[in-house]
Structure 1
Amino acid sequence: MRFFACLICLSFLARPLSFSQDTFSIVAVDTVTGEIGSAGASCVGGGVGAFILSDVLEGIGAIHTQASYLSSNQQTARGRMVAGDSPQQIIDWMVAHDAQNNPTVRQYGVVDLRRRGETAAYTGVNCLNYKNHAIGPGYSVQGNILLGQMIIDTIRNTFLRTPGALADRLMLALEAAKIIGADTRCASRGTSSQSAFIKVVRIGDGAVPYLQRVIGNSAINVDPIGLLKTAFDRWKDSLRLHVDPFRSQLTVTPETLRADGSSFALIRIFPKNNSDSLLAGSRRVLLSNTGGGALTLPDTNYTARLIAPATPGVDTISARVVDGSDTTSVFAKRIVYYTQPTGTTAGDGSIPATVVLHPNFPNPFNPTTMISYGIPSAGHVTVNLYDVLGRHILTLLDETQPAGYHTLTADLSQFGSGVYFYCLEAGSSIFARKMVLVQ
């Protein structure tokens, strides 16, 4: 009798972990910084609660496996992503190869950083109502046993409308769904859910995620999303005065100099914290370069000069900031080109021999980006914005300008995510480049 009981026990232990994981959640990436994140909540408590469904792969993407959660399905989905499958290929595989031959009770949300934020989602027809998902560039929102479509829409709309860092966008999106009975099983508890989590990883994190906060269980009438927001705010406050290498920026204007030993470019450093706020000018900035250009020391306003060498070549400018007893890793790099001196020198740098239009920076971006260009002589300049169908949607610049290099800031906050083209017209010259907006 004991023998058969032992066999039954071993048989149970050998089965893949499976249980109901009815959840509302989001997976997302920031294609500019390379951050990948996930957040979610569920009326499941004990242990890590809803956090079990989160699978975030540094530098690759994220997968949420929910509804009737099966650990072997989660592991298979991860393996397909590591192998290089696209989000839709992963879902197609999971539907065709479900570990229990019952994909209709599963729900998946997948986002891929390597494919510039490509997403896919799946909601099985036998997941419990209300069930649905919503996807877009860089994000996937999914849920089941919900109060209604409003939960999906609230998470998605808040995420899309919130500016700033990925961590902030995820936290505020989840907080917006803190509605009693969002997971309908928790209505009797007076909460949206019983457990909640948020996680963000960055390239280079290794075994320690940039952000990971988990509320594995909460008391009746105490919402775990509220507890999570408190923990999140404490985490943010602990880093508020520190330089964030993923938010900080460095610009060089112009990015092309005459190799004459005297032309120069203006370097601007923007050390920011994890809230994307510029830090006060009391920190010491360290600049370095790989080429023959000469660097001046940055002043208290975080500006410096790069003086061109006498020979053509390429230079890479890097910046670090001394932050207390620590020095951040390199937070920005820019490429500068030194060309044959065919133009003439101006008081603020060099004048190009021909019209030049540089790639915008950053790219992809949200919602602002800088466009740098140069004109060899004074004249009328226009910069227009077009959508992928070639329709003119915005005039960024229309004025007479002096010869030299110029920079403008394009704000596309009124437009949706997608590919756009900016076109420079100066005299008889016309140049166009592509930019990618990720809202």
Structure 2
Amino acid sequence: MKNLIQKYSFTLLALSLLIQFKLLAQDTFSIVAVDTVTGEIGSAGASCVGPIGGIGAFILSDVIEGIGGIHTQASWNATNQQNAHNKMLEGLSPQEIIDWLIINDAQGNPTVRQYGIVDLTRNGESAAYTGVNCLNYKNHVTGPGYSIQGNILLGQIIIDTMQTTFLNTSGPIADRLMATLQAAKIVGADTRCAVRGTSSQSGFVKVVRIGDGNTPYLQIVVPDTPIGTDPIDSLQTMFDNWKIAKFNTVDPFLSQIEINPDTIPANGTSQAVITILPKNNSDTLLASGKQIVLSNTGIGQLSSVIDLGDGTYESTITSPVAEGADTISVIVISGTDTVSIFWKAIVFYSNPVSISDNSVSPNDFHLYQNSPNPFNPSTKIKYTIPNVVESETKQSNFVTLKVYDVLGNEIATLVNEEKPAGTFEIEFDASGLSSGLYFYRLRVGDPETSSQNGQARQGFVETKKMIYLR
């Protein structure tokens, strides 16, 4: 009899858990995203389910440090989630992972699943899938560095609002994820919660940085809430408290180092001014009194660092007599914390030829590093076009200067015309674009073109990186 009772009790427990997971089976609005500049991976979502496994909606999130993030939702299945994790570790792309999951669904029914996957190692490549038998309203949207998905939603407005907010919110990825959830906080966003007077019942926000290990940079979870209390409000309170707790801590990604000018003569005496701005995770300058340690990769001479008393610090670097470049790194020591600032400053040492409308034209093509870099919202790009001599006749050059995102999509054409020899500068305004890494490419002619006399003439192509930080 005792064994029978134990067996019966176990069966009831298993049935109870099964029912709970069935309740989780169709739900949720969520976003998984990466920051290709900082290497951060973020995951956030909410659902009208209670404390499944003690964590509620958080059960759908899987973030792999330095690699990517996966959301498995709708009819959630632990085996499918683990398989997706394993396939990402194997190096499959987001779409390849989804294709594999559809073919190899743990229960042979992928039509009730919903996935969103973003890969940091592939410059933010993303993919999503919504099975035809997920409950309405259901949909997903993807873009460079993010995937947003949901089911049993109030309508497309939830997906659209989340996407618009994420793309137009400035700051670090943690702030953008929290704002994205707030935008979706509409009563009945997950329609089952309309009777509760809330958008959802449980929610979470998670951000992982490279080097976090088993301690995520941010992980806040609301596994359950009483009727009338929205978990997104609870998350916001937890998020605000987290921000306050880190108010006096140096943030390696929001702290900055600037150098002006970024190109100085290689004469052994010219100097560039280095400005260091230690900031917290609210993008606010910290109090003065920090110890700043500078290092450089080249042979320029760094001066001692001066505390300007307003939270900023200043130093100079003196050029060597040889042409080249220097990359300058910063370590900030604040109490017991030692933080390496993520950003670096680059200074070039050169002996440029003075250029004017009536002067001798330069002899070499050159695409300069944009300045400032990182920038917000605009930066200047300078390039040099030399004389091209063919059959003792000066030739103009057809020049294109274009900007691309990390996926190779063309963002802007800055120059597309014939240019005489000379040095030119143009401004690029990134207002309206997302923070991240961008590329700008200068092309003069084709990589190899033929002159009128049939002789091959080598063209010029050069690409450089720039960072837009909103």
Fold similarity call, TM over 0.5: yes
**Does the aligned pair in 2 maintain the 1:43–1:185 contact within 8 Å?**
yes
- More displaced 10-residue stretch of structure 1: 226-235 or 280-289: 280-289
CA displacement, residues 338-392 of structure 1 (integer Å, 9 cap, x when unaligned):
56x6769xxxxxxx996743334788x7863644647799xxxx99766789897
Shift of 1:433: 3.9
Aligned residue identity for 2:69? A
Q: Which moved more, 1:85-94 or 1:429-438?
A: 429-438
Distance in 2 separating the partners of 1:213 and 1:391: 35
8 Å contact 2:403–2:438 — kept in the other structure? no
Residues 296 and 305 in structure 1, CA contact (< 8 A), matched pair in contact too: yes
Q: Is the 8 A contact 2:167 2:434 kept in 1?
A: no
Larger radius of gyration: 2
1:213 equivalenced with 2:224 (yes/no) = no
The alpha-carbon distance between structure 1 residues 407 and 228, as it changes in their structure 2 partners (threshold 3 A), is farther
- Whether the 8 Å CA contact 2:300–2:319 is kept in 1: the answer is yes
Quote the residue 1:413 is aligned against: 431
- Percent same amino acid at aligned positions? 52
Q: What is the rounded CA distance, in whole Å, between the counterparts of 1:221 and 1:167 in structure 2?
A: 26
Find out whether 1:304 has 2:315 as its counterpart: yes
CA contact (8 A) 2:204 2:219 kept: yes
Q: C-alpha distance in 2, partners of 1:355/1:281?
A: 44
Counterpart amino acid of residue 155 in structure 2: G
Letter in 2 for 1:48: I
C-alpha separation between the residues in 1 aligned to 2:223 and 2:409?
A: 48
In structure 2, the partner of 1:151 is 158
Q: Secondary structure at the match of 2:76?
A: strand
**Would you say 1:178 and 2:185 are equivalent positions?**
yes
Residue 333 of structure 1 pairs with residue 344 of structure 2: yes
Listed as ranges, the matches of 1:3-82 within 5 Å are 19-21=22-24, 22-46=27-51, 47-82=54-89
- CA separation of 1:61/1:218 partners in 2, compared to 1, >3 Å: closer, same or farther? same
Shift of 1:128: 0.9
Cα distance in structure 1, aligned partners of 2:125 and 2:372:
19
Question: Residue 295 of structure 2 aligns to a residue in which SS?
Answer: strand
What SS does structure 2 have at the residue aligned with 1:121?
strand
TM-score, scaled relative to structure 1: 0.81
Deviations 1:153-210 (A, max 9, x none): 1111111111111011100110111111111111111111110100001111111111
User: In 2, Cα distance between the equivalents of 1:248 and 1:100?
Assistant: 48
Q: How does 1:82-121 map to 2 (within 5 A)?
A: 82-121=89-128
Paired residue for 1:398?
none
* C-alpha distance 207-390 of structure 1, shift in aligned 2 (>3 A): closer
Secondary structure at 2:227's aligned position in 1?
coil
Which residue of the partner structure matches residue 392 of structure 2?
A: none
Q: How many residues align?
A: 416
Q: Distance in 2 between matches of 1:385 and 1:317?
A: 28
Contact 1:372 1:407 in 2 (8 A): yes
Which sits farther off after the overlay, 178-187 or 413-422? Answer: 413-422
In structure 1, runs of 5+ residues without a counterpart are: 345-351, 396-401
SS at match of 1:63: strand
Q: What's the counterpart of residue 322 of structure 1?
A: 333
**Where do 5+ consecutive residues of structure 2 fail to align?**
355-361, 387-398, 416-421, 445-458
Structure 1 letter corresponding to 2:272? A
Residue 144 and residue 223 in structure 1: after superposition, are their counterparts in 2 closer, same or farther (change >3 A)?
Answer: same
Structure 1 residues 252 and 272: alpha-carbon distance in aligned structure 2, compared to 1, 3 A threshold? same
Paired residue for 1:228, among 235, 242, 252?
Answer: 235
